[in-house]
Amino acid sequence: MTQRHMMGLDPEPRTTVDNRVWFGQKLALWRSKVGWEIAERQASEIVARCQHMTGCPAESVETETCLADCPDREFRMSALVILNAARGFTPPVASKISGQLYTMPSREYFSAVVAELAACQAELAALRAAGAKAEPPPNPPSLQEKT
């Protein structure tokens, strides 16, 4: 670490990303937001539907704990865990990208994907072959000294 770097004078490193990957990440962010919003809404409904004993402080205040005799005490605790996770992890901003430009995969990218698929198939075939004879051979080959 140099003094220049510590003071933030070095230029910020940049990462170039393919448009296909960039739009995929935006879409994943939007999906995450939609999913967490659904989880938050449903968890809130469960918390609101929980039954309480008379005089339970948790009936009106979310942060209060239930009385020991409340019938839905455990359900409420689980729903509150989901609710707080949803509140904490929902992306603040994620707009749905519609009508984005379609970018044809490049010839190199397509070849790389096909090659990866072929490698996976070969690996799968090797695993299947290994699985077919799971038992060790009766006479394992022993090491022999080279003469």
Residues that bind Zn ion (CB under 5 A): 52, 56, 58, 66, 70
Is 94 strand, coil or helix? Answer: coil
For Zn ion, the closer CB: 55 or 131: 55
50-55 contacts at long range (C-beta below 8 A, 24 or more positions apart): 50/75, 50/76, 50/79
DSSP-derived secondary structure letter, 37: H
- The rounded distance, in Å, linking the Cα atoms of 41 and 39 is 6
For Zn ion, the closer CB: 65 or 90: 65
For Zn ion, the closer CB: 60 or 98: 60
For Zn ion, the closer CB: 43 or 70: 70
**What is the smallest separation between the CB atom of 36 and Zn ion, expressed in angstroms?**
26
**What is the smallest separation between the CB atom of 56 and Zn ion, expressed in angstroms?**
3
Which of 109, 95, 89, 5 has its CA nearest to residue 43?
A: 89
**What is the smallest separation between the CB atom of 82 and Zn ion, expressed in angstroms?**
18
**What is the smallest separation between the CB atom of 87 and Zn ion, expressed in angstroms?**
21
| Alpha-carbon distances, residue 10 vs 2, 14, 15, 54 (angstroms) | 9, 12, 15, 63
